[in-house]
Amino acid sequence: MSKIIDVRTAVINFLKDNIHPHEITVIKLDKVGDAWESVSEVYEDDSFLKAMNLPPKHARVYYSVKIDDQLEVVAFERMTEYSQ
């Protein structure tokens, strides 16, 4: 399997295991030096509606995940916005 496919799979598995989203799409994957930087579009429950016990609605958010050559996550953050 291609290295980029392995990195994409590692990003998806990390997000599934840690934020439990409804849907994940990796929209950007770049090799920078010895690491990989990714941006993923994720649909998760709207936290405000969930806190107010209102019917759930999926909110689209973006996450940045940085992975080293050993496929270990070295950085992770929820982005406030994403512009291509």
Q: Residue ranges per domain, the chain?
A: 3-79
- As assigned by CATH, the class of the 3-79 domain is alpha beta
Predicted confidence (pLDDT) at residue 1 exceeds the cutoff of 60: no
Question: What per-residue confidence (pLDDT) applies to 64?
Answer: 97
| Structure confidence by residue, pLDDT tens digits, 15-25 | 999 998 999 99
Residues 41/62, Cβ–Cβ less than 8 Å: yes
Q: Provide the residue type at 6 as one letter.
A: D
Residues in the chain: 84
Contact 64, 49 (CB under 8 A): no
- pTM of this prediction? 0.85
What are the tens digits of pLDDT across the range 3-56? 999 999 999 999 999 998 999 999 999 999 999 999 999 999 887 887 888 888
Residue type present at position 56? P
Rounded CA gap, 7 and 67, in Å? 8
Residue with token string 């973006």: 62
Which one-letter amino acid corresponds to residue 61?
A: V
**In this predicted structure, what is the pLDDT of residue 8?**
96
